[in-house]
Amino acid sequence: MMTFPARARLHLLALGCYGALAFIVLHALIFANGTHVAGFDYFNYHWNFWFLRHALRTGIPIYLHDFVFYPALTNQGYHAYTAFWYPLWALLEPLIGTLSAFNVIIFLACTLNGYVLFVWLRREGILPVLALLGGIALQTFPIARYWYYNTHLNLMNWFWLPLHLLLWSQTAGAVQARRPLRAVFWAAIQGVALYGLAMSDHQFSIFAVFVLAPYGGLSVWRARRAPSQLLGLIGAGALSVMIGAGLLWQFGYLPHALQFRGTLAPGEAAARPGVAARLFSMAETWWQWDTPSLGAFVTLCALIALGAALCVPQLRHKQDGRWFWFWVGVPPFLIALGGTLQIGDLSLPTPYRLLHALTGGMFGMPWRLAPIFVIAMALFAGKVFTPPLRGRRGAQLAVMVAAFLANAWAVRLWETAPLTPVPPAYALYEQIGAERGAPYDSLVLVEVPTGVATGEVILGDPRAVQLQWYGIFHHKRMINGFISRAPVEHFYYIHTDDPMLSWLGGRVPLDAEFVRRQMQERIFGYPIGYFVVHRDLIGRESVTLTELFAFFNRDVRDLLCPMWIEGDVVGYRTAAHPDWDGCPQRIPPDGVIDLGAADDVRFIGRGWHYPETIAGITARWTGAEAAARLYLRLPERRAYRVRLSAQAFGRVRQLSLFANGVAVGSVAVAPESLSEYVFELPAEPLFEDGYLELALACDLDGQDEALGRTLGVLVDWLRLEPLDTLSTSE
DSSP output for 212-236:
HHHHHHHHHHHTTT-HHHHHHHHHH
What Rg, from alpha-carbon coordinates, does the chain have? Answer: 33
User: Mean pLDDT over all residues of the chain?
Assistant: 92
Report CA 51 to chain centroid distance, whole Å: 15
Q: Give pLDDT tens digits for 358-391.
A: 888 888 889 999 999 999 999 999 999 999 999 8
Q: What is the pLDDT of residue 312?
A: 85
Percent of the chain predicted with pLDDT > 70: 98
pLDDT at residue 540 tops 90: no
Name the packing angle between helices 160-176 and 180-200 (round to 10°).
Answer: 170
pLDDT at residue 724 tops 90: no
Strand partners, 722: 640
**What is the residue extent of each domain of the chain?**
269-390, 423-584, 585-730
Alpha-carbon distance of 526 to 529, in angstroms, equals 9
Q: What is the pLDDT of residue 634?
A: 83
CA atoms within 13 A on the CB side of 64: 9
Alpha-carbon distance of 595 to 625, in angstroms, equals 17
Q: Give pLDDT tens digits for 166-207.
A: 999 999 999 999 999 999 999 999 999 999 999 999 999 999
Q: What is the pLDDT of residue 2?
A: 53
Q: What is the pLDDT of residue 725?
A: 58
Calculate ∠ Cα 216-221-226, nearest 5°: 115
Least confident of 328-342, 345-359, 588-602: 345-359
The class (CATH top level) of 585-730 is mainly beta
pLDDT at residue 728 tops 80: no
- Least Cα distance to 560 among 579, 543, 580, 545 occurs for 580
Q: What is the pLDDT of residue 349?
A: 82
DSSP output for 534-571:
EHHHH-TT-HHHHHHHHHHHHTTTTTEEEEEEETTEEE
Alpha-carbon distance of 693 to 672, in angstroms, equals 29
Count of all residues that appear for the chain in the document = 730
pLDDT at residue 44 tops 90: yes
For the four alpha carbons of 463, 466, 468 and 470, in that order, the dihedral sign comes to negative
Q: What is the pLDDT of residue 96?
A: 97
Average pLDDT over residues 503-531: 96
What SS3 class is residue 129?
Answer: helix
pLDDT at residue 727 tops 60: no
Least confident of 89-103, 104-118, 214-228, 443-457: 214-228
Which residues touch 402 (CB under 8 Å, ≥6 apart)?
none
Least confident of 158-162, 356-360, 459-463: 356-360
Average pLDDT over residues 626-632: 94
Q: What is the pLDDT of residue 729?
A: 44
DSSP output for 621-649:
EB-SSSEEEEEEE-SS-S-EEEEEEEEES
- Which helix H or strand E contains 348, and what residues bound it? strand 346-349
Average pLDDT over residues 157-165: 97
Report CA 583 to chain centroid distance, whole Å: 33
pLDDT at residue 89 tops 60: yes
Q: Is there a cis peptide before residue 562, judged by omega within 30 degrees of 0?
A: no
Answer whether 653's CB lies under 8 Å from 698's CB.
yes
Alpha-carbon distance of 168 to 555, in angstroms, equals 67
pLDDT at residue 601 tops 90: yes
Q: Give pLDDT tens digits for 649-683.
A: 989 999 999 998 889 999 999 999 999 999 998 87
Alpha-carbon distance of 308 to 305, in angstroms, equals 5
Alpha-carbon distance of 82 to 201, in angstroms, equals 6
Q: Return the DSSP state at 604.
A: B
| 214 or 706, which is more confident | 214
Alpha-carbon distance of 466 to 123, in angstroms, equals 44
Alpha-carbon distance of 377 to 382, in angstroms, equals 8
pLDDT at residue 699 tops 60: yes
Least confident of 122-126, 265-269, 295-299: 265-269
Strands of the sheet containing 569-574, edge to edge, are 477-478, 444-448, 528-534, 569-574, 560-566
- Least Cα distance to 441 among 570, 531, 563, 529 occurs for 529
Q: Return the DSSP state at 344.
A: T
Average pLDDT over residues 386-409: 93
Alpha-carbon distance of 380 to 322, in angstroms, equals 5
For the four alpha carbons of 8, 12, 17 and 19, in that order, the dihedral sign comes to positive
Q: What letter represents residue 686's amino acid?
A: L
Q: CA torsion 75→79→83→85, rounded to 10°? A: -170
Average pLDDT over residues 74-94: 96
Q: Give pLDDT tens digits for 245-280.
A: 999 999 999 999 999 998 888 777 767 888 888 889
Confidence category of residue 345, pLDDT binned at 50, 70, 90? confident
- Least Cα distance to 162 among 193, 203, 127 occurs for 193
Q: What is the pLDDT of residue 685?
A: 65
What SS3 class is residue 360?
Answer: coil
- Least Cα distance to 378 among 407, 352, 350 occurs for 407
- Least Cα distance to 69 among 479, 418, 371 occurs for 479
Phi (first) and psi of residue 620, to 5 degrees: -135, 145
pLDDT at residue 72 tops 80: yes
pLDDT at residue 122 tops 80: yes
Q: Give pLDDT tens digits for 468-513.
A: 999 999 999 999 999 999 999 999 999 999 999 999 999 999 999 9
- Least Cα distance to 377 among 325, 429, 434 occurs for 325
Q: What is the pLDDT of residue 360?
A: 81
pLDDT at residue 688 tops 80: no
CA distances from residue 271 to 352, 433, 435 in whole angstroms, order as listed: 11, 43, 47
Scored b (16 or more CB within 10 A) or e, 86-97 reads: beebeebbeeee
Q: What is the pLDDT of residue 335?
A: 92
CA distances from residue 558 to 69, 569, 573, 640 in whole angstroms, order as listed: 26, 21, 11, 24
For the four alpha carbons of 633, 637, 643 and 647, in that order, the dihedral sign comes to positive
Q: Return the DSSP state at 35.
A: T
